[in-house]
Amino acid sequence: MIHRLPEEKIQISAEQAQAQSEALFNSIGDGAITTDEFGKITRINPVGLKILGYAEKDLIGEWFPKKIIALNERDESINLIDRPITRAFLTGQPVSEKMHYRKKNGDILPVSISISPILFGGKPIGAIEVFRDITIEEEIDRMKSEFISLASHQLRTPLSAIKTYSHMLVDGYMGETTTAQKKSLRTIIAATNRMNELISTLLNITRIESGTIAVSPKNIHLYRACDEVIKELNLAANEKSISLTLKKKGAATTTVKTDNLIIKEVITNLVSNAIKYTSEDGHIEVSVQGKTNDVVFSVRDNGWGIPKESHSQVFTKFFRAQNTVKRETTGTGLGLYLVQGLLERLGGKIWFESEEGVGTIFYVSLPRNSPTLRSIK
């Protein structure tokens, strides 16, 4: 037998639920905004109002994407299609991101947001966003990065002394050394080089993550930049009897306006990786091709390849494929993570094809004009 609740009780329950929801919403320690299915703001809690500097009447009924201005790291407005609220509505999935919001008084503040569509019968009937001012966290991050940067620099000074004096001994500045002594000194030099590489990677990663890497675009010939890197790395390739060649595809110029140091770091990482993960007597080919709006270069090797199950993790921090770890090759798993981060700063893209036991080809496309990015520091 079904007992129906009297109309009055239903009314009280609904009001209680409403009051509970209101109390819950208003007591959220972060900013919270809800919208209807059209993206119009229906509610915002006191913390949200305080963070953004608005009064409730300024926002209620307003279209969220228009009123809450979101900016990217270059302080440019984020397109509607790329706004988390749009993506949450389109996919029906929650979206979490870091971005900047413009306050009512024009100030810009970094925020971490998480927005979820409110689904009813599988369809979005609104959205709720929770956001938090992360100015202090960002400041701590920046201080941490500065500390790492300084610590790395301080580590390099004694390393430079070890390397310089070892070289001076090998080169005979302090008198003749025996063949065995020279061999030992070269081992010391090689070890300091490895340590330097590690410090470089660490420094670059902290700079990318803290936004303190500056991009200073100048006109460079990408073919020439590849040629210079290959000349530097030929010795390492020769040691494994690997042939390292450079080709230019097509007649179009390979001139790009980009940051010379950063792009060389990218090429060096990709070619060094190819040398590291290719067996003796292997082949590596770097080719460069100018296209209408961009220049593409690729690094192809016939090395060990990347197992298919690892393809999605290749650009993640500290990733190393199982088939490389087993062969005990030195590596930190930071190189490709760094390369991707550097290319993002240059407005470039990277992708790859790989088959285990056959080889790998990495492609990089660079826009003819990289955006100038000031460092935040």
From the list 3-11, 135-143, 192-200, 291-299, the region that binds another protein by CB under 8 A is 192-200
Q: Angle formed by the axes of helices 179-210 and 135-170, to 10°?
A: 160
Q: Interface with another protein includes 26 (CB under 8 A)? A: no
Q: Interface with another protein includes 18 (CB under 8 A)? A: no
Q: Classify each residue of 99-128 as buried b or exposed e, where b means 16 or more C-beta atoms within 10 Å of its C-beta.
A: bbbbeeeeeebbbbbbbbbeeeeeebebbb
Q: Interface with another protein includes 50 (CB under 8 A)? A: no
Q: Tokens for 98? A: 């870091």
Residue type, 366: L
Q: Interface with another protein includes 157 (CB under 8 A)? A: yes
Shortest reach from residue 241's CB to another protein, in Å: 24
Number of H helices, E strands in the chain: 11, 13
Q: Interface with another protein includes 212 (CB under 8 A)? A: yes
Choose between 163 and 276: whose C-beta lies nearer to another protein: 163
Choose between 149 and 313: whose C-beta lies nearer to another protein: 149
From the list 4-12, 150-158, 267-275, 286-294, the region that binds another protein by CB under 8 A is 150-158
Phi, psi dihedrals of residue 290, rounded to the nearest 5°: -85, 135
Question: Of 128, 262, 314, 373, which lies in the binding site for another protein, with binding defined by CB under 8 A?
Answer: 262
Shortest reach from residue 74's CB to another protein, in Å: 17
SS3 240: coil
From the list 74-82, 149-157, 246-254, 314-322, the region that binds another protein by CB under 8 A is 149-157
SS3 55: coil
Question: How many residues of this chain bind another protein (CB under 8 A)?
Answer: 31
Q: Interface with another protein includes 167 (CB under 8 A)? A: yes
For 125, the enclosing helix (H) or strand (E) is: strand 123-133
Question: Of 42, 234, 260, 323, which lies in the binding site for another protein, with binding defined by CB under 8 A?
Answer: 260
Shortest reach from residue 264's CB to another protein, in Å: 9
| Cα–Cα distances in angstroms (integers) from residue 64 to residues 5, 61, 110, 119, 263, in the given order | 39, 9, 18, 18, 39
Residue of 280, 278, 300, 279 whose CA lies nearest to 288: 300
From the list 124-132, 156-164, 306-314, 362-370, the region that binds another protein by CB under 8 A is 156-164
Please give the sequence-ordered ranges of beta strands (E in DSSP) within 201-322, or none if there are none.
Answer: 218-221, 243-249, 255-258, 283-290, 294-301
Judged by the rule CB under 8 A, the positions of this chain that interact with another protein are: 149, 153, 156-157, 159-161, 163-165, 167-168, 171, 173, 192, 196, 199-200, 203-204, 207, 212-214, 216, 260-262, 265, 375, 377
